[in-house]
Amino acid sequence: MPTDKIKIVVLDGYTLNPGDLNWGELETLGTCEVYERSSPKEVIERAQGAKIVLTNKAPLSRESIAKLDALEYIGVTATGFNIVNVEAASEKNIAVTNVPDYGSASVAQMTFAHILNLTQRVAHHGTAVDNQRWNECPDFCFWDYPLIELEGRTLGIIGYGSIGKQVGRIARSFGMKLLVYSPSLEGRGELEEGISTASINKILEESDFVSLHCPLTAKNEKFINAEALAMMKTTAFLINTSRGPLIEEGALAKALKTGQIAGAGLDVLSIEPATNDNPLIGIPNCIITPHIAWATQAARTRLMNTVVANVKAFLKGTPQNVVNLVH
């Protein structure tokens, strides 16, 4: 089929490209329709007749896939692909692809932005200066929270893949010790000086910072619950730049309010965008950012390049980054 006849639909392109990137290369591959956002009710109508559909958060359910007769390819413009019913796609021999490992450096950077903000309270003290607190201070300096040095502290990393390893490298440059967990590393002991494998329980019990970098599965949903939080030191901090549903948010809110742990830095929540009744919003020792760890321009450029490369590979008959079974 000539590429100028291929219909390509981008269901929710705004977060990938709010205007600082370019859809031009994708547009050379077919007739493109790019929507900034699509609600679940709009998916079927907008994707009708498309051979190729790209989505980030617009869901492609079994019902939607069943009604899209022309559909042959679903490209997820992210690493996680739970937004697509891959079983239904496989049944119709529709390839589903994702974009692995485009944002490791950016996510690791955000992980430490949270760690450093919790240990130095940069945002808080900057705001205090703007509010003329320093002007009125009788001393040459002031601080409202304990200031914590990272050297010699222990960082526990749950999920030691590409992002976890990048976080570990940064931590080691600060002089931190690492306890790491990955199913593939169980029983390995010390990997190298300053980096040891450990069980999740040991990480929770011994770490000064616990950082989550694992994919969301049915088995680990809400595994950071009241029982897990009770294992942590009262001086410890929890960091999550991975997936919101890994944490039982009500239990974390209680742990933060009662001083069971010292604080949390979160870039993800269980429901996004955040809801008005989320129990974590407004807690002083819980710093939340709006799921932006992945969103540096450098990371989004790599993401866009791989999205286009995935489509090209599919059109050539040599698909790459396929996450489901097709024949």
Residue 108 in this model has a pLDDT that exceeds 50:
yes
Q: What is the pLDDT of residue 289?
A: 98
> What pTM did the predictor assign?
0.92
Residue 9 has pLDDT above 70, yes or no: yes
DSSP 242-289: S-GGGB-HHHHHHHHHTTSSSEEEES--SSSSPPTT-TTTT-TTEEE-
Residues 48 and 165: their CA atoms lie apart, in Å, by 42
Active site residue 300: no
pLDDT, one tens digit per residue, over 284-308 is: 999 999 999 999 999 999 999 999 9
In CATH terms, are 3-102+297-315 and 104-288 the same topology?
Answer: yes
Tens of pLDDT along 133-151?
Answer: 999 999 999 999 999 999 9
Q: How far apart are CA 235 and CA 210, in angstroms?
A: 11
CA–CA gap between residue 154 and residue 3 (Å, rounded): 54
The per-residue pLDDT for 4 is 53
Q: Give me the mean pLDDT over the 44-59 stretch.
A: 98
Q: Is the pLDDT of residue 2 over 60?
A: no
The active-site residue out of 121, 125, 291, 302 is 291
Mean pLDDT (the chain) is 96
The pLDDT assigned to 287 comes to: 97
**HEC profile for 293-323?**
CCCCHHHHHHHHHHHHHHHHHHHCCCCCCEC
Q: What is the pLDDT of residues 147-179, one digit of tens each?
A: 999 999 999 999 999 999 999 999 999 999 999
Of residues 27, 36, 186, 272, which has the active-site annotation?
Answer: 272
Average pLDDT of the residues in 34-48: 98
Question: pLDDT tens across 113-138, in order?
Answer: 999 999 999 999 999 999 999 999 99
Homologous superfamily (CATH) for 3-102+297-315: NAD(P)-binding Rossmann-like Domain (3.40.50.720)
pLDDT(5) > 90 = no
Distance CA 291, CA 83 (A): 16
- What pLDDT band is residue 33 in, cutting at 50, 70 and 90? very high
Q: Which whole number is the average pLDDT over 22-34? A: 97
CA distance 110 to 267: 8
pLDDT at 48: 97
Measured CA to CA, the distance from residue 105 to residue 117 in angstroms comes to 18
Annotated active-site residue 124? The verdict is: no
Q: Answer yes or no: is pLDDT of 32 > 90.
A: yes
* Residue 272 annotated in active site: yes
pLDDT band at 1 (very low <50, low <70, confident <90, very high): very low
Residue found under tokens 């529709």? 94
Give CA–CA dist 154/178, Å, rounded: 6
CATH T-level topology, domain 104-288: Rossmann fold (3.40.50)
Tokens of 320: 């790459």
Residue position matching structure tokens 């390819």: 73
Query: CA–CA separation, 65 vs 307, rounded Å?
Result: 20
Given the DSSP bridges, would you call strands 286-288 and 177-181 parallel, antiparallel or unpaired? unpaired
Look at residue 3 and tell me whether its pLDDT is greater than 70: no
Q: Find the angle CA(210)-CA(79)-CA(304) to the nearest 5 degrees.
A: 125
Domain ranges of the chain: 3-102+297-315, 104-288
Tens-place pLDDT, residues 69-104: 999 999 999 998 989 999 999 999 999 999 999 999
Of the residues 121, 125, 153, 243, only one is catalytic, namely 243
Q: What confidence tens digit (pLDDT) does each residue in 176-234 have? A: 999 999 998 877 777 888 999 999 999 999 999 999 999 898 999 999 999 999 999 99
Q: In whole angstroms, give the CA distance from residue 207 to residue 224.
A: 14
Specify the pLDDT at position 292.
98
